[in-house]
Chain A
Amino acid sequence: MKASKAIVIMISIAFFIYFLFPIYWTFITSIKQSVDIFSYPPIFFPSKPTFQNYYAPSQEFGAVSLTALNSIPYMISSFAVGLITTIAGTFLIGAPAAYSIVRFAKGGKIFSRMILFMIMVPAAAFIIPFFQIVIHLHLIDTWWGLSLSYLSFTVPFATWMMMGYFYDIPVEVEEAALVDGVSRMRAFYDVAMKMVVPGLTATSILGFITCWNEFLYALILTFSPYNFSFPPVGSQTVPVFISSFVVIEKSFAWGGLAAAGLFTALPSIILGVYAQKYLARGLTLGAVKG
Chain B
Amino acid sequence: MTKRDKTWFFLLLPAIAYFVIFFAYPIYNLFYNSLTTQSGSITSQNFAYMLRDPYLPTVLWVTLLYVIGAVGLEMLAGISLAIIAQNLASKVRGALQIIAILPLMVPPVIVGLMFLLLYDTNYGPIDFFLRSLGLPAVNWLGSTNLALFSVILADVWRYSPFVFLIIFAALQSVPSHLYEAAMLEGPSRWQMFRHVTLPMIRPALVVALLLDTIGVLKGFDLIYVLEGGGPGLATTVLSYYIYIWGFVYNNAHVAAALSILFLAIVLLIVGLTIKFTKIEEYLGLRRK
Contact of B252 among A8, A125, A128, A155 (CB under 8 A): A128
Question: Which residues of chain A are within 8 angstroms of B104 by Cβ–Cβ distance?
Answer: 272
Residue-wise interface mask of B (229-271) relative to A, using a CB-CB cutoff of 8 A (1 in contact, 0 not): 0000000001110110011000010011001101100110110
The yes or no answer to B133 lying at the interface (CB within 8 A) is no
A-B contacts, 14 of them at CB < 8 A, read A8-B84, A23-B106, A123-B220, A152-B23, A155-B22, A163-B285, A188-B11, A273-B101, A276-B98, A284-B165, A284-B170, A287-B204, A287-B283, A288-B173
Bound CA–CA A119/B262 (angstroms): 14
Question: Which residues of chain A are within 8 angstroms of B270 by Cβ–Cβ distance?
Answer: 116-117, 120
Q: A124-B242, A125-B259 are in contact. Are A40 and B7 (CB under 8 A)?
A: no
The 6 closest A-B CB pairs, nearest first, are A286-B284, A97-B15, A272-B105, A129-B26, A184-B7, A124-B239
B113 touches A26 (CB 8 A): yes
The yes or no answer to A63 lying at the interface (CB within 8 A) is no
Bound CA–CA A243/B243 (angstroms): 16
B23 touches A118 (CB 8 A): yes
Q: A128-B259, A184-B5, A246-B225 are in contact. Are A122 and B239 (CB under 8 A)?
A: yes
Bound CA–CA A130/B256 (angstroms): 12
Residue on B with the closest CB to A92? B14
Q: A25-B114, A116-B285 are in contact. Are A243 and B101 (CB under 8 A)?
A: no
Question: Which residues of chain A are within 8 angstroms of B203 by Cβ–Cβ distance?
Answer: 286-288, 290
Contact of B170 among A40, A269, A287 (CB under 8 A): A287
Residue-wise interface mask of A (168-190) relative to B, using a CB-CB cutoff of 8 A (1 in contact, 0 not): 00000000001000011100100
The yes or no answer to B107 lying at the interface (CB within 8 A) is yes
Contact of B125 among A42, A133, A212, A289 (CB under 8 A): A42
Bound CA–CA A38/B124 (angstroms): 9
The yes or no answer to A16 lying at the interface (CB within 8 A) is yes
B259 touches A124 (CB 8 A): yes
Question: Which residues of chain A are within 8 angstroms of B107 by Cβ–Cβ distance?
Answer: 212-213, 215, 238-239, 242, 264-265, 268
B282 touches A125 (CB 8 A): no
Pick the interface stretch among A54-62, A100-108, A138-146, A225-233.
A100-108
The yes or no answer to B29 lying at the interface (CB within 8 A) is yes
Q: A23-B102, A103-B8 are in contact. Are A116 and B280 (CB under 8 A)?
A: yes
Bound CA–CA A42/B130 (angstroms): 13
CB distance from B124 to the nearest CB of A (A): 7
CB distance from B25 to the nearest CB of A (A): 7
A242 touches B165 (CB 8 A): no
Residue on A with the closest CB to B158? A22
Residue-wise interface mask of A (23-46) relative to B, using a CB-CB cutoff of 8 A (1 in contact, 0 not): 101100100000001111110100
B242 touches A127 (CB 8 A): yes
Interface residues of B (CB under 8 A from A): 1, 5, 7-12, 14-15, 18-19, 22-23, 25-27, 29-30, 33, 81, 84-85, 87-88, 92, 95-118, 120, 122-125, 128, 132, 157, 161-162, 165-166, 168-170, 173, 200, 203-204, 206-208, 211, 214, 217-218, 220-221, 224-225, 228, 238-240, 242-243, 246-247, 252, 255-256, 259-260, 262-263, 266-267, 269-270, 274, 279-287
A164 touches B284 (CB 8 A): yes
The yes or no answer to A51 lying at the interface (CB within 8 A) is no
Interface residues of A (CB under 8 A from B): 8, 11-12, 15-16, 18-23, 25-26, 29, 37-42, 44, 92-94, 96-97, 99-101, 103-104, 106, 108-109, 112-118, 120-133, 148, 151-152, 155, 159-160, 163-164, 167, 178, 183-185, 188, 209, 212-213, 215-216, 219-220, 238-239, 242-243, 246-247, 250-251, 254, 257-258, 261-262, 264-265, 268-269, 271-273, 276, 279-281, 283-290
CB distance from A123 to the nearest CB of B (A): 6
Given contacts A38-B123, A96-B11, A279-B165, 13 further A-B contacts (CB under 8 A): A8-B87, A8-B88, A22-B115, A26-B114, A97-B12, A101-B12, A124-B243, A132-B252, A151-B18, A152-B23, A257-B113, A285-B284, A287-B208
Question: Which residues of chain A are within 8 angstroms of B5 by Cβ–Cβ distance?
Answer: 184
CB distance from B146 to the nearest CB of A (A): 18
Bound CA–CA A246/B84 (angstroms): 37
A284 touches B207 (CB 8 A): yes
Contact of A42 among B23, B124, B262 (CB under 8 A): B124
Q: Which of B27, B132, B224 has the most CB of A within 10 A?
A: B224
B204 touches A288 (CB 8 A): yes
Residue on B with the closest CB to A124? B239
